[in-house]
Amino acid sequence: MGSTEQKIEEQLAQLQQKVGARHAEVLKHSNDDQFTVEYARLVNVTSKLVEFEKTIPERLAEPDRRRSERIVTWSWRGEAVVSAVLIALVFIFDRSAWWLVLLVPHFAGTVAGCFQKVDAEQHRDRRFGAVGLHVVALLMALISLSVISQWFIIAAAVGWMLVAGSLTDSTGADPKGARR
């Protein structure tokens, strides 16, 4: 069992123990004036337990979310650097400036992707998008360096659509969280 699960179980057990102790106090004072006070304490502790139980799935997903966040952040940053290098290579190799029409939007897209948020619900989709980004960036590098045919630009465009699709959630919200 991981440390996260162990911590959650310990906190849950403590809250359950508190509820049990408060329940015992309520039962002791079932026929006197102290009953109302003890019952209010029992309700308070029980509400804390219920609120904690609501957060358990998010707490369990947190280590995976943090891992995804690191993968996503460094993937997008790395590919932004690669894109900048490809733009520089256009000038170094004295290539046609028309390559900038392809490379500058790719660079802008990778830089914009560096600032996305990775939340608990969509962290796996964002990780998938970051891995897909590596494939698209490899295509862009191979195309711009004339290693493969320029017809692969179509594959790169399709790849960008798939990567962009992984950045939107199923509720129709955009990557920054605003509703459409």
Whole-angstrom Cα distance, residue 109 to residue 89? 19
- Here the tokens at position 123 are 């962290």
Mean pLDDT on 66-77: 89
The rounded distance, in Å, linking the Cα atoms of 100 and 140 is: 12
Q: Closest Cα partner for 139 from 124, 155, 127?
A: 155
**Model's pTM, two decimal places?**
0.66
Closest CA to 86 of 129, 44, 38, 144: 144
Per-residue pLDDT tens over the stretch 18-62: 888 888 877 777 777 788 888 888 888 888 888 888 888 888 878
Domain boundaries, the chain: 3-167
